[in-house]
Amino acid sequence: MNEYIITASFIAAILIAGFLLLVNFGVTIVTYFGIGLVAVSIAGGVIYTWWKTAKDKTIEKFKLETLSKMREEFNKTSNYVNEAAELVDVKDDREGLGALREGFIKLGLFDEKFESIAKGIGKHTLTFIEQQTRKGEQRLRSLETLTAGTYKPELDKYAQGLHIRLMKLYESGYPLENGLKDFEGVQNRIPKSLIEMIEKKKTISNLFSAMLMKCYGEAEALLNLAGTYGDVSRAEGDIRMAKERAGDIDAYTSLLASARNRLKEILGPAFIKRRSILLSALQRTMELLGDDIDGLKGSIEEILSKVSATTDPGRLEELMELENNFKNNLVLLLAKLNDDLLRVESEITAFGPTKDLWARDDGIGMLLEKADPSTEISAFTEEAIVALGRAVNQYRNDIMFKKVVENFGKMEPIIERKLKEHGRLSGADLRVKYAEKFLQYYSTKHPEVEFREKPPVLLARSHVLGRTRVEGGP
Amino acid sequence: MDNTRWSIIASGEGANRVSFLYYCQFRNPAIEDRVLLLNTTTADVRPEKTFEYILRKDPNLGQIYDQIKRDKICIFGKSPSGAGNNWKVGENEARDDFDTIRRYISNLKLGGRDVILCINTLGGGTGNGSIPYLIHELKYGKRIVSAGENSYMALGILPYDFEAPQRFFNTICGISRLLKFDGDAKQNADLLLLVDNDQVEKILGIGGMGKEERYYRINQETIKAINMMIAAGSERSKSTIDVADYYQLPSNLGVYHFTPCMSLGNDPEIFDIETAMEDAIRNPMVPVDPKTAIMAYVIVVAPQKYVDDRIFSQEELENITRDWAVKNLAGKRGGVLRYSSLVSSQDAKTLDVMILLGGFSLEKIISKSLQRYYDFKDSLKTEGGEVELRDEANERIRVKISIKDIEAIEANIKDYIAVAEERIRRAHREELDIKKKLSEWGFSRGSPSWRQ
C-alpha cells in the first residue's frame, strides 16, 4: 500500500514540478527536465535490481541445494555402478562418471576432491548452476541405462545359477519348498532400472544364503540322527569340507547334497520300516472308523495324508513326529469314543432293555486305558487297534439300539396291528431298518408274543399254541 | 409357474393363537405376512391375555406381536365383551362391521387366485359366527375384496369333550354353516379341515400337562398340518398338489371335509414312507374310521439328501399310496380320489408324513356333539318363532335367532351328511361285472380283456 502511495506521490510531485517549470521557465527547460528524469529512472532501476539481488540470500540457498542434490545423485549412481561391478565390467561407466566429476570441478562448482561445494559459486548465477546440474543428471541417467543393459543378462545368469544349485540341494531332500517358492518369486520379477536390478540381486543373494544356512543346519541335525543307525564318517567329511569351502558355492552345495544322499542311505532301512508300520496303523484305524464315526477321524486322515507324502528317509525325524501325533490323536479319539459310548449307553439304559437284548461291553474302558502313547508304535498299535475295534463295534451297536428304543413308540402299535392281522410277523413284513431288533424288543415288552431268531419272526403265543396243537394232533 | 399365495384370516381368541403361532414359527414364503387376526373385543387381543403363554414361552415373540398389532389385528363390532360364546352375536357383529373388516382384508393385497385359509374354533362365538358369514360374503357377496377367483379353505377346531352343551350347539351350527351357508344352501368353504382338540391331545399324549401347555402343543400340531398342506404346492414338491386339486374334485363330489393325519419326526434312517404312513393313519386329528374315507392327499416332506439319493422318490410314493389306499380307504379300490406329493426340504432332518383324509363318515364327530346339541337346543325358550341365545356370564349379550334358521342349518348339514354317506356306500360297492360292462360298451368276446 505504501509503495502505491509513494509512487502516486512521486508522479504527482514530478507533474507539479514540470508544471511549475513550464510556467516559470518555458518549454525548453521542461524538455531537459523530462529527459533527465528518464535517465535518472533507468539508472535507479538498474542500481535497485543489483542491490536487491545482492541482498537476497534465497538464491544462494537454491544454488547450494541444487549442487548438493547433484553430488548426492552422482554418488548414488557411482555406488550402483560399483555394485554392478560384481557381475559386469564397468570400466567405461566409471570413466564416464570420472569425466562428469572433472567437468563439475573445472566449472568451479565443487572442490578438487569432489567432496564439497566450491567456495566461489557466488560468481555463478542460479540459472547457470541449474543448467549444469540438469546436464549432469541426464548424463548420470544415461550411464545407469548403459550399465543396466549389460547388467541384466548377467543378473539373470546369476539367478539361474543360484537356482540350479538350490534345486540340487532340494533334490537331495533338503526341505526347501517354501524357500524355493520365495526365491522363484523374486527371480521371475522383471526389474525396470539399474536400482531395481541391484535390489533384486541383493534379495536373491540373501534368500540363497538363508537357504544354504538352513541346509547346513539340517545336514548337521541329520548327521546326529543318522549316527545311531550306521557309519556316518563320509557324510561327516562332506559336511566338514563344505564348511571349509564356504566361499565356493559350487563345491559347498555339491558337498551338502552329497552328505545328505549319504545320510539318506544310512537312514533308509529304518525309515522304510517305520513308515510302513505307521501307514499300516493309520490305514487300519481309518478302516475301523468307517464313514459313520465322526470326532477325530479328520485328524487321523490328515496324518495319513502327510505320512503318504513323506517318502524321503532324510525326513525320519518328521516321520517320528507324525508317529507321535498319530498316537496322541488316537488316544484322544479313544477317549472321545468312550465318552460317547457312556452317553449313548446311559440314554439306552433309561429305556431299561433286558440283557439278552442289549448289554454294554464293560471291558472296553480297561482296553482303552491300556493304549499308552509312550510305548513303541507296534505295541501301541496292537493295543489301541484292539480297543478301537471293540469300542467302534459297541458304539455302532449302541447307536443302532438307541434308534430302536427311541423309535419303538411309533413301531409298537404298528407291530401290534400287524400281529393282530396275521398272528406272525417277520422282519421283512415290517419294512423298517433294524426290523429284527424291533421285533425282539417288542417281544421283551409283550409276554404274549414269542420271538424266534432263525428266521427272525414274532409269533403271537395263541398262534404258536394253535399251530403246535395242529402239528402235535392226532 | 408361480406358487400359490396363501393368506390366513383367523377370528376369535383360539384361532388368533393358532395364527399368531404360525406367523411366528413358519415364515412361509407362500404366506409372507398375509395374516389377519379378527376379534370382537380388544381384551382378547392384548398379549397379556390371548398370547400371554406364547409370549412367556418365547419373549422374543413380543417384538413380532408389536409389529403385527397395528395393521394385522382388526377389532370389529360394538360388543364391549366379545360374542360371549354366542355365534349369532359373532355373525351379527361381522355383518354390521363388514366394511371395517373388508378394509383390513384389502390390506392383505390378495391376488386373483390366492387361497384364504379361514380359521375358527367351532365351540366359540366370535370366530364361529363371523368366519362362515365372511366366507359367504367374500365368495358370493357383491362387496368383493378382489376381482379374482379366490378359494376359501376353512379350518374348524372342535371343542373338548368336557366343554358346555352350548359349545356343541355352536359346533353343529358352525360345521353346517362352514359347509353350506344358511338359506341358499350353496357350498360355503371350498374345503373344510376339521381338528379335534381331544383327539390331538390323545395323539400327543399330553393329557397330564397344564392347560396352557396343552393348548400350545395342540396349536403347534395344527400349524404343522397347515404348513405341510401348503408345502405340497411349493416348487420343492416333486409332484405339486395345487390348490385346485384340494377342492375342485371334492366340491364336484359334494363332499369336501378333511382331517389331517400326521406322523412327524420320523428318523429317515429307520422309517420308510410306508411305515410312516401306517403311523400317520393311526393319528387322525378328529375321531374317524379311515375305512369310511373316500379321499386321501398324501404329503411327504423328506430331507433333501434322501430325495437326491433316491432313497425316497415320487414314483415309490405313488406306488405305496396306491397299495396303502386299497388297504386303508373305503371300498376295495382305495376310495375314489387320491394325490401324493413328495417334498424335499433342505431344512428337514426327519421324514414327515401327512395324510389329508377326506369324505369320511362324520358320524363319530356328530355323535360326540349331538346329545349336547339337543340338550342345549331343547332348553331354549321359543317365542314367536324365535329363540333367544344369551350369555349366562354376561346378561347384556343376547340375540334372537329364528327357529326357521336353526332348521335350515340342521337341514344343510343333514343334506351334506346324506351325500357323504352315499359316496361312502358307493365306494364300498362291489366291483362291476367288467365282462358284462365291456359287452355293453360294444367289445366282443374275442377281445384280449375277455381272455384275462
Give yes or no for residue A470 having a pLDDT over 50. Answer: no
pLDDT attached to residue B341: 94
Residue in A closest to B203 by C-alpha: A410
Closest CA of chain B from A400, distance in Å: 10
Residue B226, helix vs strand vs coil:
helix
Beta-carbon separation of A407 and B272 below 8 A: no
- Using CA atoms, how far apart are residues A464 and A466, in angstroms rounded to an integer? 5
- Using CA atoms, how far apart are residues A192 and A87, in angstroms rounded to an integer? 18
φ, ψ dihedrals at B115, nearest 5°: -100, 135
Residue B390, helix vs strand vs coil:
strand
Average pLDDT of the residues in A341-364: 87
pLDDT attached to residue A472: 30
- Residue A294 binned pLDDT confidence (cut-offs 50, 70, 90): low
Decide if B49 touches A, using CB distance below 8 A.
no
Q: What angle do CA B209, B210, B211 make, to 5 degrees?
A: 120
Beta-carbon separation of B266 and A434 below 8 A: no
Decide if A432 touches B, using CB distance below 8 A.
yes
Beta-carbon separation of B267 and A406 below 8 A: yes
User: How many pairs of residues across A and B have Cβ atoms under 8 Å apart?
Assistant: 32
Closest CA of chain B from A432, distance in Å: 5
Contact A85, A148 (CB under 8 A): no
pTM strictly above 0.80: no
Give yes or no for residue B401 having a pLDDT over 70. Answer: yes
- Residue B198 binned pLDDT confidence (cut-offs 50, 70, 90): very high
pLDDT attached to residue A471: 33
The closest CB to that of A432, out of B263, B275, B282, belongs to B275
Beta-carbon separation of A414 and B279 below 8 A: yes
Decide if B271 touches A, using CB distance below 8 A.
yes
Q: Which of B16, B119, B124 shows the shortest CA–CA distance to B65? A: B16
- Using CA atoms, how far apart are residues A469 and B181, in angstroms rounded to an integer? 63
Closest CA of chain B from A336, distance in Å: 24
Give yes or no for residue B46 having a pLDDT over 80. Answer: no
Contacts of B284 in chain A (CB under 8 A): none
Average pLDDT of the residues in B427-435: 81
SS (H, E, C) chain A: CHHHHHHHHHHHHHHHHHHHHHHHHCHHHHHHHHHHHHHHHHHHHHHHHHHHHHHCCHHHHHHHHHHHHHHHHHHHHHHHHHHHCCCCCCHHHHHHHHHHHHHHHHCCCECCCCCCECHHHHHCCHHHHHHHHHHHHHHHHHHHHHHHHHHHHHHHHHHHHHHHHHHHHHHCCCCCHHHHHHHHHHHCCCCCCHHHHHHHHHHHHHHHHHHHHHHHHHHHHHHHHHCCCCCCHHHHHHHHHHHHCCCCHHHHHHHHHHHHHHHHHHHHHHHHHHHHHHHHHHHHHHHHHCCCCCCCHHHHHHHHHHHHHCCCHHHHHHHHHHHHHHHHHHHHHHHHHHHHHHHHHHHHHCCCCCCCCCCCCCCHHHHHHHCCCCCCHHHHHHHHHHHHHHHHHHHHHHHHHHHHHHHHHHHHHHHHHHHHHHCEEEHHHHCECCHHHHHHHHHHHCCCEEEECCCCEEEEHHHHHHHHHHHCCC
pLDDT attached to residue B201: 94
Contacts of B14 (CB under 8 A, 6+ apart): B120, B121, B124, B127, B157, B215
CB contacts under 8 A, A 433-452 vs B, are 433-434
Say if residue B336 is exposed, middle or buried (CB neighbours under 10 Å; 0-12, 13-18, 19+): buried
Beta-carbon separation of A431 and B272 below 8 A: yes
pLDDT attached to residue B45: 47
Q: Is the dihedral of CA B170, B176, B180, B184 positive or negative?
A: negative
pLDDT attached to residue B444: 72
Mutation to test the B interface, candidates A410, A414, A429, most B Cβ within 10 Å: A410
Residue in B closest to A408 by C-alpha: B270
Chain-centre distance of CA B79, in angstroms?
Answer: 28
pLDDT attached to residue B440: 86
Q: If you average pLDDT over every residue of chain B, what do you get?
A: 87
- Using CA atoms, how far apart are residues B167 and B196, in angstroms rounded to an integer? 13
Strands B295-303 and B382-383, bridge-based pairing: unpaired
Give yes or no for residue B297 having a pLDDT over 50. Answer: yes
- Using CA atoms, how far apart are residues A144 and A138, in angstroms rounded to an integer? 10
Residue in A closest to B277 by C-alpha: A414
pLDDT in tens, B271-285: 999 999 989 998 999
CB contacts under 8 A, B 274-313 vs A, are 274-275, 278-279, 282
The closest CB to that of B275, out of A403, A431, A434, belongs to A431
Chain-centre distance of CA A104, in angstroms?
Answer: 50
Average pLDDT of the residues in B231-256: 87
The closest CB to that of B270, out of A413, A417, A433, belongs to A433
Contacts of B262 in chain A (CB under 8 A): none
- Using CA atoms, how far apart are residues B263 and A413, in angstroms rounded to an integer? 13
Give yes or no for residue B334 having a pLDDT over 60. Answer: yes
Contacts of A416 in chain B (CB under 8 A): none
Contacts of A408 in chain B (CB under 8 A): none
- Residue B311 binned pLDDT confidence (cut-offs 50, 70, 90): very high
What is residue B83's DSSP assignment? -
Contacts of B282 in chain A (CB under 8 A): 413-414
pLDDT attached to residue A48: 82
Give yes or no for residue A244 having a pLDDT over 70. Answer: yes
Give yes or no for residue B184 having a pLDDT over 80. Answer: no
Contact B73, B37 (CB under 8 A): yes
Beta-carbon separation of A410 and B269 below 8 A: no
Give yes or no for residue B404 having a pLDDT over 70. Answer: yes
Mutation to test the B interface, candidates A407, A408, A411, A439, most B Cβ within 10 Å: A407
Mutation to test the A interface, candidates B204, B206, B275, most A Cβ within 10 Å: B275
Residue in A closest to B281 by C-alpha: A414
Average pLDDT of the residues in B227-237: 84
pLDDT attached to residue B81: 66
pLDDT in tens, A191-203: 989 999 999 999 9
Cell of A94: 566409471
pLDDT in tens, A128-140: 899 999 999 999 9
Residue in B closest to A412 by C-alpha: B279
- Using CA atoms, how far apart are residues B125 and B394, in angstroms rounded to an integer? 13
Closest CA of chain A from B237, distance in Å: 24
Average pLDDT of the residues in B144-161: 82
pLDDT in tens, A371-409: 888 899 888 988 898 899 999 999 989 999 999 998 898
Cell of A371: 493304549
Give yes or no for residue A230 having a pLDDT over 50. Answer: yes
Contacts of A401 in chain B (CB under 8 A): none
Give yes or no for residue B422 having a pLDDT over 90. Answer: yes
Decide if B263 touches A, using CB distance below 8 A.
yes
Beta-carbon separation of B269 and A403 below 8 A: yes
φ, ψ dihedrals at B387, nearest 5°: -120, 150
pLDDT in tens, A1-42: 567 888 888 889 888 988 888 888 888 888 888 888 889 889
Contacts of B247 (CB under 8 A, 6+ apart): B151, B153, B190, B191, B256
Ranges A348-352, B208-212, B238-242: which has the least confidence: B238-242
pLDDT attached to residue A122: 80
Instruction: Identify any residues that bridge with B193 across adjacent strands, giving them in sequence order.
Output: B155, B258
Average pLDDT of the residues in A437-444: 90
φ, ψ dihedrals at B208, nearest 5°: -80, -5
Q: Which of B221, B219, B357 shows the shortest CA–CA distance to B277? A: B357
pLDDT attached to residue B226: 92
The closest CB to that of B270, out of A413, A417, A434, belongs to A434
- Using CA atoms, how far apart are residues B193 and B37, in angstroms rounded to an integer? 19
Decide if A410 touches B, using CB distance below 8 A.
yes
Contacts of A413 in chain B (CB under 8 A): 279, 282
Full strand arrangement of the beta sheet holding B295-303: B73-75, B35-39, B6-11, B115-121, B151-158, B191-196, B257-266, B351-358, B295-303, B337-345
Instruction: Tell me the one-letter amino acid at B220.
Output: Q
Beta-carbon separation of B271 and A403 below 8 A: no
The 10 Å Cβ neighbour count of residue B374 is 14
Mutation to test the A interface, candidates B263, B267, B270, most A Cβ within 10 Å: B270
Average pLDDT of the residues in B5-32: 88
Contact B333, B431 (CB under 8 A): yes
Cell of A99: 569425466
The closest CB to that of B278, out of A414, A433, A434, belongs to A414
Beta-carbon separation of A410 and B279 below 8 A: yes
pLDDT attached to residue B8: 93
Exposure string of B272-284, with b = 16+ CB inside 10 Å and e = fewer, is: bbbbbbbbbbebb
Decide if A414 touches B, using CB distance below 8 A.
yes
Decide if A407 touches B, using CB distance below 8 A.
yes
- Residue B202 binned pLDDT confidence (cut-offs 50, 70, 90): very high
pLDDT in tens, A305-330: 999 999 999 989 899 999 999 999 99
The closest CB to that of B267, out of A403, A413, A431, belongs to A403
Contact B312, B343 (CB under 8 A): no
Decide if A413 touches B, using CB distance below 8 A.
yes
pLDDT attached to residue A453: 83
